[in-house]
Chains A and B, each alone.
Chain A
């Protein structure tokens, strides 16, 4: 019988993300970014982290500014609609943050190799690019069959993948929908998986649509009920992107002082998802909530 893994956000991060962890987050690019979990990393003052994700919008910048990040393995770090991010720039410029510069696809291939348990993935991407000059996890290789030159991308096996999604049961079985990016490979490549879910549902709900299950439940370490845990990023079926939230963050992270005030308001003084929602406010939540519901045709798994 599977064990129940429902924990609070605080317990899940405390138990499964020690200092020095490498963490895969924000694997679907602009959607389903695990902001609630990211803020808990800051709240627990985690040190010496490695963050892994192709484009995690402002989340990586918040974690860099808020707690101890030693290294980033990513394709792009910034604020998608406004440009570069200030904490990221500050720490790269001083040299305190190590940046392993990938493309979306080299990072995807690294996690695919990790998911498959092999040490590298052959690919054509990055050939002829400058990525080889700074990224030591990319090597040129010769195909043993065709003799062609290929890129070998070293595998990445994160200590933990943190995934925000729509619904999960307490045993770790979860449904995700929308554009999922490299979430599946990242989960399979990681030693631990923490799921934060908008809703916790009965196991039967998950069982009735097996194709929608994001990763084998038995591999999940913790399930956390985290309503609006993806805000300000969009969660398909629940709420839209909070564009103003991203624009506001640009203004509130320009200087270390600005960022300190942001951190106090949005992380330090927030002790529950209810606190967070009080900050967002009922009006903004109503504006962001989905109004044009778009249900798909049910499928029949009967036999």
Chain B
């Protein structure tokens, strides 16, 4: 029995090492292919790394660059949005995002959807993890302060103002964190990857076509029905679109 456990552990360690080694090779090959100008190969190597389960901000950024250099704006934007979840303050990344948003065919208007507006306040400043940690610190500090307020009667007057300040800050951070998490789970972002896609009034081609969207349009999914998804954009356009014409920024 013990021997079995040891063998299984060794296999796991070896497997992990092998995967890591293969991934490193893929990344190196991708870098070489990119610098050589062989963008399709670079894309292939980076995608295989991501499919092997290795993913972080730098890998998504580099993959986005490969797609961008290969003139595939939709997939470039998709990977830049993925990288943004890990590197929200990165100047190069934000420059590339702005570049694609000015190039793409779709003219997306000002954000009018209030939920997405709240998300936009923080998503170029904090990752969700950083926001969660900061809010957690405020949350814990507030309750510690409240405990002292209750227990030390002589400190009550002194603690009133700091308590209010902490409460106010905590509520704002909770609101920002809440909207980020809500949108992440209930309104996951996606990118239109088809060149053009009809937007229907219902979840079927039997419904009426309302308008078209073009590649690199950023949408948020609100509902799913078989092969169709219902979406909303930041400027509050809505409709149904086929799943095959979009890709989720995060796994479905």
A and B are partners in one complex rather than unrelated chains? no
